[in-house]
Amino acid sequence: MTVYLVGAGPGDPGLLTVRGAEVLARADVVAYDRLLGPGLLALAPAGAELVDVGKSPGGPADQQGINDLLVARGRAGLEVVRLKGGDPFVFGRGGEEAQALLEAGVAFEVVPGVSAAVAAPAYAGVPLTHRGLSTSFTVVTGHSRHQADTATDWEALARGGGTLVVFMGVAHRAEIAERLMAGGRSPTTPVLVVHRGTWAAQRSLRTTLAGLGGAPAEPPAVIVVGAVAGLDLAWFEGRPLRGRRVVVTRAAGDAPALARRLAAEGAEAVVVPTIAIADPADGGAALAAAAARLAGYQWVAFTSAAAVDRLLALVPDARAFGAARVAAVGPGTAEALARWRVVADLVPPRAVAESLVEAFPAPPGPGGGRVLVPRAEAGRDVLPDGLRRAGWDVEVVAAYRTEPVALGPDALAAAAGADAICFTSASAVDGWVAAGGGPATPPVVACIGPVTAAAAAAAGLAVAAVADTHTLAGLVGALRHVLGGERPG
């Protein structure tokens, strides 16, 4: 087996490399740092051992303990991922860990990551090199815990020209600025300080070398010194939900899709699953039997993406549908079908069961026709009852069931500090309330559709936003309107 030294990137989970995601997905053990992007640990297998080896602010780093952990787990024949912020070989002590593994005879692989040295300035709209301004850049640490480390010659760096990127320099910024000016850098040299670069909470501070010492900077931050810091090619910090924290209550496997959409708008997703998707009480036997006779139905009507995924995972060939037509309760369910390369024949104008009943065609004759409705084990009966009244022979099959998830105090505290909470199903609302989340509900409650909104209102939650289009994109759009000041439509 192998120990992987994986660079997780500086914060934005989208900057994890493909190789990093591959090895993380099969890890037996994940030893992770403190400042990791949200949701990265969710990429590890459910049974993986997660070991927090992050250094707390101001506390000593037990590097020997980390080295011993990696060696011991590696010798035990486990797949070990050492998940490190940024790049493991850029001020990440990856070299020390690799050396320990090499000396112990434990196989290892280095998976480079995107360093904050490059990513933080880029997310702040500053290139490290730019024609006519800078043809080189130097990355340096502004703080060292070890007396034996070679002292940084700031005056020499000043004379060398180009762009300087300083890690861990906030506490010593006044001294750094004085020494750079003593080395010949002009007091008017532009300076950029990027706090929590690539995170939703990223903030950029622009000053000069003379003003750096008194600038209101705080760690963690990257400091960029040089002419390029005067550029402002802004793109990241202007997004409509920048700095907002939004609770995502979807099941753990479904949460990343919404989290990615929120991140694209500048928000930080706080993933607090209130429900889990599980097999129905019969273990899926009825669903498997129905999947084997799909061609015997005139219609298959889906009311959720989860039902789509559960049924189609049992269908080896789309021809199994035969002449059966397919209905989806709304665009979100139709999108789930499209991911399986199945195009919905019927999508009602409103994403509710009542609208699907109204849009459904009449049975083909006095003998009726058969409709399969795969759904949640305790789903609403509006669709099957309405179709039966219209003359259809309806078979309801439990495709899955939802279970409430217990929420610990840390999860509730994280949710309470957020700006908004999203619900994409009535069961997610029920799970939130059952777990005691009511008092921790953020000020803005957003729901994907009217059924979910009705469940939230019945639970005593004040709904501030309901998606016009009952999809994840519509839900994020509703949040943009409420939190970002965007006009509807």
Q: Which residues are catalytic?
A: 33, 55
Q: Which of 81, 82, 85 is nearest to 35 (CA)?
A: 85
Are residues 385 and 353 in contact, defined by beta-carbon separation less than 8 angstroms?
no
The total number of residues shown for the chain amounts to: 489
DSSP class of 346: B
Helix/strand/coil for 482: helix
Instruction: Output the CA angle 149-154-156, nearest 5 degrees.
Output: 110
Rg (CA), the chain: 27
Closest to 207 (Cα-Cα) out of 225, 182, 186, 234: 225
CB 79 within 8 A of CB 26: yes
- Measured CA to CA, the distance from residue 188 to residue 361 in angstroms comes to 73
Amino acid identity of residue 489, one-letter, is G
Angle of helix 63-75 relative to helix 94-104, nearest 10 degrees?
Answer: 40
> Do the beta carbons of residue 33 and residue 83 sit within 8 Å?
yes
Rounded to whole angstroms, the Cα distance separating 23 from 93 reads: 20
Mapping DSSP onto H, E and C, the string for 294-323 reads HHHCCEEEECCHHHHHHHHCCCCCHHHHCC
